[in-house]
Amino acid sequence: MLTDADREEAKDNIWKNNQTVWHAWEPECDACGLPESELKSPKDQLLSCSGCLVAKYCSKECQKKDWSKGHKTQCHIYEANRKLSSIFAKSLGPGTINDPKLSLAEKHCQWNFLNIHNHLVIAAVALKNDKKFAGTANVALLLSMSKDRAGSKYEHRTFFIDRVLLLDRDASDSAARVAGWTKGSMKNPQKEAERTDRHHFKLMAGWCSLPGDQVSSTQMWQHPCSDVVDHVLPPGFDLNRYVTHVNRGITHFHASFWPLPRNISDADIESAKVPAGWREHALRHHQLLSGLKGGQSIVGYVHADGTREPFFKGSDGGHFRRCAPGETDSDGPAEYKKLLTDPSKMVRLLSKHLEIFEHEQNVKMTKNITRFDPRLTMEEVKKIVFPGHSEE
C-alpha cells in the first residue's frame, strides 16, 4: 500500500533525467529573434504584421527584411489559419473555454482539449517521428498563462506552451500511476495510466501556475507509438514556428497544408487538386489533425422532417459538453462553411479542404428521443455513450 509520501516522491521523480526538446517561450521578433522583454521601453510591444496579424517584429526594418526573405509568400496563409482559428473559437458553446462560468483551472483543461491535435503533432516531433523511440520515453508539455489575455471575450489565447520535455519512461510511468492524471483520455483512464508496455507513450500537459499560488491539474493522454510516424506531421513542418503560432492563438493550420500562391484565380481554386501526399496524410489523420471538430460524436434527435437537433457533442480527445439552445450540427462541413463569411481567396480555398473530410465525418444521431432525453445530465449521457468513461 503506497503512502502519501510514496506518491509525492513518485510525482517529484517525474523530472528525473528529463530532456528539453523546446525551450521556455517568450514572444520574440520573427526576423531577428529579439525577445519582447528586451525592447527599448518596458511598455513597448512587438509589432504585428497588418496583413496576417500573426507574424511579430521588433521594428519596421525587421518587418521589411522578413517580407523580402519569405513572409510575402506566407502572409496570406497565416491570415487564413488565423481566421479559421477565430471562427472556430467563436463557435464554441457552453462548457468550453469561452464559458464565463468556468474557473481558470477548468478553462486550462478546455484549452488542452482545444489543442489536443496540436499537442500530438508536437509530441511526434519530440519523439523523432520514430515509433521505436516512442516506446522509450513520455512527453510533457509545460504550460503557462498569459495574464493580459485572461478575461477576454474569446480565451483560446489565455494559455501557451512554455516547454516541451522528454521524460524518463520508468519515472514518468510511476508518477502517472499514482498522480490521478485522468482528465484526458476518455476510456478506462486509470487503466491507461498504469500501462507500462512499450507499444504506447503518454502525453501529459499541465503544470500551469494560476493566480493565488495554485497549480493547474495535469491532463494525460496515451497514444499508440504508431501515431508518431512521419505521416502524422504536416508537410514542411517547423517545430519552432508551429509552437509559436499555437502560442499566438492558432488552432487550425489548414492553409499551411496546401500553400497556394496569394494571387490564385477563382478558376484555379475550382480546378485545384490536392497534392497526392497531402491528401493521403489528411484522409488518414483527419481526426488527429483536421481541427474541424472532426471526430466528434453528436447525440441528439432526428425529427420527422429530417431536421436534426443536437443535445450533446463529444470528441475522441475527451471533450464532452451539452449543446447551447439553438445550436446546429456544425460538425457537418456544409454547416461549417456558413461560418466562413470572409471573401478572401484563401478562406474560400479552405472550403475545398472541408469537402475532403465530408465523407469522413463521424456524426452519430439517434431517432430514439427517449434514450437521449434532453433533460439527462452530462454524466448520465456519458454512461450511455462512453460506458468506460471515468472522472476519477
What are the C-alpha distances in Å from 20 to residues 117, 142, 244? 21, 11, 16
pLDDT > 50? residue 106 = yes
| pLDDT band with cut points at 50, 70 and 90 for residue 369 | very low
Most confident region among 82-96, 180-194, 220-234, 329-343 by mean pLDDT: 220-234
| pLDDT band with cut points at 50, 70 and 90 for residue 65 | very high
Lowest mean pLDDT among 77-81, 98-102, 374-378, 384-388: 384-388
Select from 212, 247, 282 the last residue of a domain: 247
140 is a domain residue: yes
Q: Kindly report the backbone phi and psi dihedral angles of residue 204, in degrees, each rounded to the nearest multiple of 5, phi listed first.
A: -120, 135
100 is a domain residue: yes
Q: Where are the alpha helices (DSSP H) in 168-326?
A: 169-179, 189-193, 239-247, 254-257, 266-271, 276-289
- First-to-last alpha carbon distance for the chain, in angstroms, is 19
What single DSSP character describes residue 318?
Answer: S
pLDDT > 90? residue 280 = no
Specify the pTM: 0.78
Whether residue 318 sits in one domain with residue 224: no
Whether residue 115 sits in one domain with residue 45: yes
Whether residue 229 sits in one domain with residue 377: no
For residues 63 and 57, give the distance between their C-alpha atoms in angstroms, rounded to a whole number: 6
- Between 340 and 68, name the one with better pLDDT: 68
Q: Residue 90's domain spans which residues?
A: 4-247
Whether residue 170 sits in one domain with residue 90: yes
Specify the pairing of strand 159-168 against strand 56-57: unpaired
Number of domains in the chain: 2
Task: Tell me the average pLDDT of the chain.
Answer: 76
What integer pLDDT is reported at residue 190 of this predicted model?
80
Residue type at 293 in one-letter notation: K
What integer pLDDT is reported at residue 126 of this predicted model?
94
CB 201 within 8 A of CB 127: yes
pLDDT > 80? residue 102 = yes
For residues 78 and 389, give the distance between their C-alpha atoms in angstroms, rounded to a whole number: 37
The average pLDDT across 311-336 equals: 58
Say whether 166 sits in a helix, a strand or coil.
strand
CB 4 within 8 A of CB 12: no
Q: Where are the alpha helices (DSSP H) in the chain?
A: 4-12, 60-69, 75-91, 104-114, 116-126, 131-134, 169-179, 189-193, 239-247, 254-257, 266-271, 276-289, 333-337, 345-356, 378-385
Lowest mean pLDDT among 107-111, 163-167, 363-367: 363-367
What are the C-alpha distances in Å from 289 to residues 131, 159, 284, 338? 18, 20, 10, 21
Whether residue 110 sits in one domain with residue 228: yes
Lowest mean pLDDT among 1-15, 225-239, 282-296, 345-359: 282-296
Whether residue 87 sits in one domain with residue 179: yes
Whether residue 306 sits in one domain with residue 190: no
Whether residue 205 sits in one domain with residue 56: yes
Whether residue 271 sits in one domain with residue 223: no
260 is a domain residue: no
Q: Taking Cα atoms as reference points, which of 274, 281, 140, 312 lies closest to residue 219?
A: 140
What integer pLDDT is reported at residue 267 of this predicted model?
76
Whether residue 177 sits in one domain with residue 38: yes
